[in-house]
Amino acid sequence: MKWIVGLGNPGTTYQGTRHNIGFMAVDAFAKRHGINITQSKCKALIGEGNVAGTKVVLIKPMTYMNLSGESVRGFMDYYKADLADMIVVYDDLDTECGRIRLRYQGSAGGHNGIKSIIAHTGTQVFNRVRMGISRPQPGMNIADYVLANFPRSEGDQVKAMIEDTCDSLEFALKNPFDQTMAKFNR
């Protein structure tokens, strides 16, 4: 079983915000593969399906971003899930909007959702797809920036980035993550 965790904040207030790009990508992946993310379990919304012969569980933590690790830990404990089979999808200020960067370990880089996952799993070693949202203009509050909607001018970039993320997730289900990084880190 592979499991994909999209990070975001629950509720309509946060739909379409930069911080919810992980939710948007997981929703697009679910739509692409006919998976319904409706089951409430482990402080998350969960959907199960089969993609290219692999059982896949899609997870959207409902704990708010800063407590995402609670859902991840709950899922690991309940399902006896292996952390090596997890891919976390989330927003990244240090990656240009429209680009994705994949890595299999590293610090949280200031991302509170990743900090929470590291704290609850006890490791920095897990697969990640970082979706670029770029940095705000100097002087702009970062919290205000990540909780704002993408401007229309970035719409095409965001759509393409979501498609690239879905493609990378599909590839990662069939191939080692280092090969996925080689193919999608451009």
Binding site listing: 14, 64, 66, 112
Catalytic residue among 19, 33, 111, 120: 19
Active site residue 33: no
- What is the Cα–Cα distance from 134 to 21, expressed in whole angstroms? 12
Q: In what order do the strands lie in the sheet with 44-51?
A: 39-41, 44-51, 54-61, 2-6, 86-92, 125-132, 100-105
- In the annotated binding site for tRNA, the residues are 14, 64, 66, 112
Tokens at 154, concatenated: 């970035």
8 and 65 Cβ atoms separated by less than 8 Å = yes
Backbone angles phi, psi at 92, to 5 degrees: -140, 120
- What is the Cα–Cα distance from 89 to 111, expressed in whole angstroms? 12
- What is the Cα–Cα distance from 30 to 185, expressed in whole angstroms? 23
Q: Degrees (nearest 5) of the Cα angle 163, 165, 171? A: 105
The catalytic site residues sit at 19
